Each structure stands twice: as structure tokens, then as C-alpha cells.
């Protein structure tokens, strides 16, 4: 039995009917967990009501135990959890609960369609241990598959966010995020199920943490790749995604303001912001039509979409991103 020299970490991976993506990321996580002591566990939460990933994960555990030219045999650290309740919030909460039940100190969230770059895990955990904060987020580098329309690049949706490491951040997504579970427990916080089918429960939770005085920081060196399929490299998808994310962001800000007894003031500020975005964006679209400019047209479209999402949020409207037929 190896001596425990560091905090106990769980890497949490929510998945829903993505067998190819799951097969791509699991070996990377198993390989990187060997860089830490004790090695982190890997919690795979299957959000498919039919438990479609159960057999695949069981086969992966068996294969990792047998070893391969790239990975030594032995314990992969993988645990399978089935969460049939639809929605990303339920899957994330199942991961947190499983981590707490196993006595973990922190959880690290990555998406099932991502691949961490070498050194990602040790860098992210090292930053958290050095800074002692409630959470640490890192950059996501989009890899656009196929040959997307130049308009997609110009939209800016998939641009890599860059900040100095150690920068304070007001919120974060769970596509590359470490959270101290003891902080979550102290505040009695979980991912809000009200955001389960719209997305944004990660934004909501991290806004709550910061609103209660906790600190989130950025680690620019802890990078993951996010593979974007051709189906998402369309003008329609990019525009709808922008509406949805700005909508969930607005709802989160209003929910937090309500908890702090300043909802009316926040609603006024956000409404003004939404109107400004729509006016500015439409002026940009007009200019792009008078003098054709792909970059300007794409950016202006995103500005309008952001304004639309904000105004939907201020009116109590929800834009759904995870509805299932």
C-alpha cells in the first residue's frame, strides 16, 4: 500500500451516449492519474436512463487491468455510476456525491468529448494546492473537425480564453474545473437541478461560491482539447449556443442577486445590457451588409445573440440545451 502524500482527488466524467469519445478520453485519464500520489479515482457518471455506458466502462476496467504497450496493468481507478435522472446537473451532483462518499478532498470535472494535454492533471492539482482556493479552472482549446465555414472561426465562440495564471475569475464551466468538495459541503451547495436541461448549472454554482466569499482562480497551463464535430460547426448551432449560454448566465446572475436582495437592480442592469447588445449588433450587421465583411458579420451576429439570450433571461424565459426526445 502506497503512502498517502497528497489530497484525495476524483476526476468526474459525465457521459451520455458518446462511446467513441469515452473510449478516447479514458486512457488519457488513466495514464495521467499515475502522476499523483495517491492516484486520483475516475468517476464515470452515465446519464443514459438505459445505462448504455455500463458495459463499455466494465470492459475498459478489465482491459486496463490487463495492461497494454502504452499503459501498465493494474487498478485503473475507474468507478461507474448510473444516474438516470435526465440533465447535466443531476449527473454532476451524482459525481460529487460519489466523491464525498469515497472521502475525496476535491473533484475535477472534464467533458467526455475532451482530451487533456500532457501534464494537465498535475498542473491543475498543483495550482490548487499552492493557492488553497475553492476552485481552479483551466483553458479549453477547441479542435474544429472537418472544414468549417470561416464565419465559425470569426464568431469567436471557440477562441481559447487566456488569462495570467492566478487570476481571480467570477465563475467557471465544468469543462476543466477543480472544486474543493469541503467548500461545497460547508456552504451546502450542489449543482442546481433547475438548470439541468438548459445548461448553466456550473455557472450557477460557481457564481454562488464567489458570491459567498470564496475564491476561484485560473491556471493557464492546465489545458484540455475539446473536439468540435461538424454538426456543431454551423452558423445555426453557434448562434443558438450563444443565446443559450447568455440566457443561463443571466438567470444565474438574477438568482444570485435574488439571494442577496438586489434582484431589481440587477434586472435593470442586465436589461440595459441586453438592449445595448442587440442595438450594437444590428448596427454591425447593417455595416457588414453595406460593406461585406465576414468577420464583422459573425461578431455582430454573436452580439445580437448574446443580447437576445440576456433579454430572454430577464423576462424569465429559459433556453434549453439538453432536452431529450
Q: pLDDT digit string (tens) for 118-132? A: 999 999 999 999 999
Instruction: Indicate whether 287 and 172 sit together in one domain.
Output: no
CA distances from 86 to 57, 100, 133, 251, 263 (A): 20, 22, 31, 20, 29
Shared domain for 150 and 164, answered yes or no, is yes
Residues of the chain with pLDDT under 70: 1-4, 68-73, 323-325
User: Is residue 321, in this structure, part of any structural domain at all?
Assistant: no
pTM of the model: 0.93
**Are 104 and 163 found together in one domain?**
yes
Shared domain check, 202 and 62: yes
The domain spanning residue 125 has which CATH number? 3.90.550.10
Q: How many distinct structural domains can be found in the chain? A: 2
- Domain membership of residue 189 as a residue range: 9-233
At 128-160, the pLDDT tens digits run: 999 999 999 999 999 999 899 999 999 999 999
List all residues 6 or more positions away from 324 whose beta carbon is below 8 Å from its beta carbon.
86
Residues 276 and 229 reside in one and the same domain: no
Q: Are residues 206 and 142 in the same domain?
A: yes
Q: For residue 225, what pLDDT is reported?
A: 98
Contacts of 218 (CB under 8 A, 6+ apart): 136, 137, 138, 163, 164, 165, 166, 167, 168, 169
What is the pLDDT at residue 321?
79
- Is the residue at 1 inside a domain? no
**Residue 217 near residue 136 (C-beta atoms within 8 A):** yes
Please check whether residues 195 and 281 belong to one and the same domain.
no
Do both 33 and 178 map to the same domain? yes
Q: Where are the alpha helices (DSSP H) in the chain?
A: 19-33, 54-66, 88-101, 120-131, 150-155, 181-187, 201-211, 235-259, 263-290, 294-314
Same domain, 248 and 140: no
206 and 257 belong to one structural domain: no
Q: Are residues 162 and 268 in the same domain?
A: no
Amino acid at each position: 500500500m502506497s503512502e498517502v502524500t497528497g489530497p484525495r482527488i476524483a476526476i468526474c466524467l459525465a457521459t451520455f451516449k458518446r462511446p467513441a469519445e469515452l473510449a478516447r478520453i479514458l486512457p488519457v485519464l488513466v495514464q495521467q492519474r499515475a502522476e499523483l500520489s495517491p492516484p486520483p479515482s475516475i468517476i464515470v457518471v452515465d446519464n443514459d436512463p438505459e445505462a448504455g455506458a455500463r458495459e463499455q466502462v466494465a470492459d475498459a476496467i478489465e482491459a486496463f487491468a490487463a495492461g497494454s504497450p502504452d499503459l501498465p496493468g493494474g487498478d485503473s481507478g475507474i468507478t461507474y455510476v448510473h444516474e438516470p435522472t435526465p440533465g447535466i446537473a443531476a449527473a454532476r451532483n451524482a459525481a460529487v456525491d460519489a466523491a464525498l462518499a469515497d472521502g475525496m478532498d476535491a473533484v475535477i470535472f472534464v467533458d467526455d468529448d475532451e482530451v487533456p494535454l500532457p501534464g494537465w492533471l498535475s498542473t491543475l492539482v498543483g495550482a490548487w494546492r499552492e493557492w488553497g482556493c475553492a476552485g481552479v479552472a483551466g483553458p479549453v482549446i477547441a479542435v474544429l473537425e472537418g472544414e468549417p465555414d470561416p464565419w465559425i472561426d470569426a464568431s469567436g465562440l471557440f477562441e481559447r480564453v487566456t488569462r495570467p495564471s492566478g487570476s481571480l475569475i467570477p465563475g467557471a464551466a465544468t469543462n476543466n474545473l477543480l472544486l474543493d468538495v469541503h467548500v461545497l459541503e460547508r456552504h451546502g451547495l450542489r449543482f442546481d437541478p433547475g438548470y439541468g436541461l438548459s445548461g448553466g448549472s456550473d455557472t450557477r454554482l460557481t457564481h454562488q461560491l464567489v458570491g459567498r466569499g470564496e475564491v476561484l482562480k485560473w491556471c493557464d497551463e492546465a489545458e484540455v482539447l475539446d473536439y468540435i464535430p461538424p454538426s456543431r460547426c454551423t452558423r445555426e448551432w453557434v448562434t443558438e449556443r450563444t443565446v443559450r449560454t447568455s440566457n443561463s448566465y443571466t438567470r444565474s446572475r438574477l438568482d444570485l442577486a435574488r439571494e442577496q436582495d438586489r434582484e431589481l437592480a440587477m434586472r435593470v442592469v442586465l436589461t440595459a445590457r441586453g438592449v445595448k447588445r442587440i442595438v450594437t449588433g444590428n448596427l454591425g450587421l447593417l455595416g457588414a451588409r453595406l460593406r461585406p465583411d465576414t468577420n464583422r458579420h459573425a461578431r455582430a451576429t454573436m452580439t445580437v445573440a448574446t443580447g437576445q439570450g440576456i433579454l430572454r433571461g430577464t423576462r424569465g424565459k429559459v433556453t434549453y440545451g439538453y432536452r431529450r426526445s
